Amino acid sequence: MVWNGARDAQETVLRTALCYARRCPASGFFVTEMSDRVLLLNNNYEPLNVCSMVRAVSLMAKGKVEVLHRNGHVVRTGTAEFSAPSVIRLRYYVKRPLPKLRLCRQSVLARDNYTCQYCGVKAKDLTIDHVVPRVMGGKHTWDNVVACCRKCNLKKGDKLPERAGMRLMRKPRRPRYVPYISLQHYLRGHRNEDWMQYLPVFDEVLPAPEA
């Protein structure tokens, strides 16, 4: 596809086609786990955001980004066909303050690698446990919250781990990770060879390699 001419009109057509295609696989838009997400870099190659394929195509249509890597898939619409981007870079610099890591359920689960910190079970439906219960004065802080399965959460209740006969796999702490992108996207991104070239390494939040 040639990105020139009436870009606004072209963007409208593409956004409509891509949105429709995401709802209807039979329309010819093929995506995989990572192919519908695109890493957006600032002009200085610093990770800026993770955007949808629709947003990436919109930026391409406006000429605001250059494509650094493609994911090997082809985006097909009723009027166009092109290689889907994996990493794009802004043609201008966006100034922003250093982001802070927000304490939330998804960040805690990602930090603990979706693993119950009491029994070691891996699951996607984990809850959050306060090591020192809130009723005992425990705070909602990084060093007092852990991922916990429902069985262990029920067993522990409003007790200290030692009173419930339970032990933590490791002591919780605030990650030193600087969230250029969300912690969840960061961990997924390290399974993508293209993205790894631009993501800084924070060993403490990366899962240990399999033996």
Paired sense of beta strands 81-90 and 37-41, if any:
parallel
Buried b (16+ CB within 10 A) or exposed e, 83-117: ebbbbbbbeeeeeeeeeebeeeeebbbbbbebbbb
69-73, 113-117, 141-145 — most confident range: 141-145
> Exposure of 146 by Cβ count < 10 A (0-12 exposed, 13-18 middle, 19+ buried)?
buried
Q: What is the pLDDT of residues 178-207, one digit of tens each?
A: 566 676 777 777 778 888 888 776 655 555
User: What span, in angstroms and rounded, lies between the C-alpha atoms of 53 and 197?
Assistant: 20
Helix (H) or strand (E) holding 196: helix 193-196
How many other C-beta atoms can be found within 10 angstroms of the C-beta atom of residue 16? 13
The domain ranges of the chain are 7-90, 102-175
With the C-alpha atoms ordered 3, 5, 8, 11, is the resulting torsion angle positive or negative? negative
Percent of the chain with pLDDT over 70: 72
User: Mean pLDDT, to the nearest integer, of 157-167?
Assistant: 94
pTM over 0.85: no
How many other C-beta atoms can be found within 10 angstroms of the C-beta atom of residue 25? 10
Instruction: For the domain made up of 102-175, give the CATH fold.
Output: DNA Binding (I), subunit A (1.10.30)
